[in-house]
Amino acid sequence: MPASNKPKKVQIPLEIFHKIIAFMECCDTSDCDPNFKQLYRDIFSCLIDKRDSMELRESYSKVVFAKDEGQKKEALTVYLEQKELNQL
């Protein structure tokens, strides 16, 4: 089989994922080396992007699995608002 160039991924419990983000939000890197600060920003940014992506996926699933047109319309409104916010 040919070697895959796709990056490998890991799975962690959602609770731990949210705790990591909460922990990083509290970290003060003001006295840290500039290289460390950049690494911190890069990692934190990736985690926030992943969180936003997961939330958007969850919102979309509510549109797909809505029980009636009223719920579907409401879920679609929420989804589109979230999607717009994520693009800013």
pLDDT single digits (tens) 35-82:
999 999 999 999 999 999 999 999 999 999 999 999 999 999 999 999
Please give the tally of structural domains in the chain: 1
Q: Please check whether residue 1 lies inside any domain of the structure.
A: no
Distance, CA of 4 to CA of 30 (rounded, Å): 39
Distance, CA of 16 to CA of 51 (rounded, Å) = 12
12 — pLDDT class (breaks 50, 70, 90): very high
Give CA–CA dist 8/4, Å, rounded: 9
Residue 3 placed within a domain: no
pTM across the whole model:
0.81
Largest CA distance in the chain: 54
**Domain hosting residue 30, numbered range:** 14-87
19 within a domain of the structure (yes/no):
yes
Residue 52 lies in a domain: yes
